[in-house]
Amino acid sequence: MTLSKKLAAEFMGTFWLVLGGCGSAVLAAAFPDVGIGLLGVSFAFGLTVLTMAFAIGHISGCHLNPAVSLGLWSGGRFSTGELAPYISAQVAGGIAGAAILFVIASGQAGFDASAGFASNGYGEHSPGGYSLLAALVTEVVMTFMFLIIILGATDQRAPQGFAPIAIGLGLTLIHLISIPVTNTSVNPARSTGVAIFQGDWALSQLWLFWLAPIVGAILAGLVYKWFEEEKA
């Protein structure tokens, strides 16, 4: 598969993740009478990854996330030369997904992106008022576990054909745990896309939602590589 096709797939997949996941939070989470709530938003994020893993996993690997690409790289599963192009395509896809969501959401009277727009935050911008330290630990640990799930489910020794289900449900569980803390990032591209349109505090706090997922993902890659060496 050519690199250009892989990048197009990563762009499209990350676009869908942001539109589907963040869209569920912005458009449907608290909709009168039929709001989907925290449970629904958690499943929406999981379903975006599950559906794209089946749709484009055979094209690009379906990373949809700079942290995933870096975690796979640190685990010896991804080439250094493709890192920057993949991350660029993912961030571009995240921004595009947020842009479409902004256009749709703006069609409702009274919509105000500065109110949050599904952005990630800590302190006064954490859904539950959690501190910077709590947010940092949450994002590192949740991303670490997400990468362990990804690396394990896609291991050649794992049962074949079930990886998208495990990964999608893993992301659902991560959201169920951490939405109250940070609104759940574990994905710098997802955080960047909506932060641009929120345009205020989300941009000033965005550094955490790059740093923590990257640290967690790289650590997971190294740990899983150690597991593989022990099995050799």
Residues of the chain predicted below pLDDT 70: 32, 34, 230-232
pLDDT of residue 158: 87
CATH of the domain at 19: 1.20.1080.10
pLDDT of residue 228: 84
CA distances from 136 to 82, 91, 103, 141, 172 (A): 28, 21, 31, 9, 19
Residue-wise pLDDT for 73-120, tens only, equals 999 999 999 999 999 999 999 999 999 999 999 999 989 999 999 999
Token look-up 């484009």 returns 56
Containing domain of residue 113, as a range? Answer: 3-231
pLDDT of residue 231: 53
Q: What total number of domains does the chain contain?
A: 1
Mean pLDDT score of the chain, rounded to an integer?
95
Length of the chain equals 232
Measured in degrees and rounded to the nearest 5, phi and psi for residue 105 equal: -65, -30
Residues 25 and 36: their CA atoms lie apart, in Å, by: 8
Q: What is the pTM of this model?
A: 0.94
pLDDT of residue 29: 86
